[in-house]
Amino acid sequence: MGSMLDMSQPVQIDIASILKGKTGGKKPSSMLVYLLSKLLHVKEINHFLTLAKDKKDLDFFQALIEYLNVRVLVSGVDNLPLSGTPCVFVSNHPLGGIDGVAVAYEVGKHYPEGIIIPANDLLMYLKNVQDLFIPVNKVGGRAKNLAEALHVAYMSSKQMMMFPSGMVSRKSKGKIEDPEWKKNFIVKAVEYKRNIVPIYIGARNSALFYWVARVRKKLKITLNIEMLLLPHEMFRQRNKELKIVIGKPIQWNVFDDAKTPHKWAQYVKKIVYNLKK
């Protein structure tokens, strides 16, 4: 994963190229490209990418936090395991953007050995930080490559960071919370004997985001169209506070056969949400 970054040219988001790559080389309509570029704040994102063209990895994340002037308040730093102790850091995912950036930066800066984040393969277009990610939404033959990449990552000294819900928090019955957490992080923590560090992020998206998600669900639309709002939601966080609470590590051997991995995952999720109290 140690690709070299050409700092001479800033990375830029090109919606037409991304769509072409996702549709087998078919050229998208100019109207679709225009509308998506507006909706996804491509002009603003590319402006930042130009400013931060010389930044890489955690320095890039720090630059984005400063660009948006997000004030990150961190508590529980004393709970962080010492460098050289490979763990799995897990967190809720309230925003779907700057929350992941902030927690990766605030945790990662304590670990010179580095961090790895399993994430959507679209993030691989951000070459400034692609060495931090393992693209996880792979199918077919690529799934085998993913399994191998994850094995190498878990065997390394690098810290693993995960959002076990696999998606952004939604609003249900008046409460904003992640969907059920997936069990994979429990299985991997036990397999590779890594303790789990729970982290709570205190933040929320706009009412519009939750309304679109609710309407989409009522209409039984399977495509998560509200995700198109996430760039807009990220820029809404400008000049706001974001709270991060780091909990005490949980020993990997706690996760025994008394519960299924799925139930252990919900157990850790509950611990995370209790950190906000």
pLDDT (tens, 9 = 90+) of the chain, 277 residues, equals 444 445 556 678 778 887 777 777 788 788 888 888 888 888 999 999 999 999 999 999 999 999 999 999 999 999 999 999 999 999 999 999 999 999 999 999 999 999 999 988 777 778 899 999 998 875 445 667 888 999 999 999 999 999 999 999 999 888 999 999 999 999 999 999 999 999 999 999 999 999 999 999 999 988 888 999 999 999 999 999 999 999 999 999 999 999 999 999 999 999 999 999 7
pLDDT (0 to 100) of residue 7: 52
Q: What is the pTM of this model?
A: 0.88
Q: Is residue 228 one of the residues assigned to a domain?
A: yes
Contact (CB, 8 A) for 68 and 237: yes
Q: State how many domains the chain has.
A: 1
Which one-letter DSSP state was computed for residue 135? E
Contact (CB, 8 A) for 213 and 196: no
Q: Is residue 13 one of the residues assigned to a domain?
A: no
| Exposed e or buried b per residue across 164-173, where buried means at least 16 C-beta atoms within 10 angstroms of its C-beta | bbbbbbbbee
pLDDT (0 to 100) of residue 38: 87
Q: Is residue 33 one of the residues assigned to a domain?
A: no
Instruction: Give counts: helices (H), strands (E), the chain.
Output: 10, 9
Does the CA dihedral 140-142-143-148 come out positive or negative?
positive
pLDDT (0 to 100) of residue 140: 47
**CATH no. for residue 143?**
3.40.1130.10
Q: Is residue 3 one of the residues assigned to a domain?
A: no
Q: Is residue 222 one of the residues assigned to a domain?
A: yes
pLDDT (0 to 100) of residue 250: 98
Contact (CB, 8 A) for 123 and 80: no
**Quick one: which of 65, 107, 90 has its CA closest to 184?**
90
pLDDT (0 to 100) of residue 127: 87
Q: Is residue 20 one of the residues assigned to a domain?
A: no
Domain extent at residue 138: 58-274
Q: Is residue 91 one of the residues assigned to a domain?
A: yes
pLDDT (0 to 100) of residue 29: 82
pLDDT (0 to 100) of residue 26: 80
pLDDT (0 to 100) of residue 206: 95
Q: Is residue 184 one of the residues assigned to a domain?
A: yes
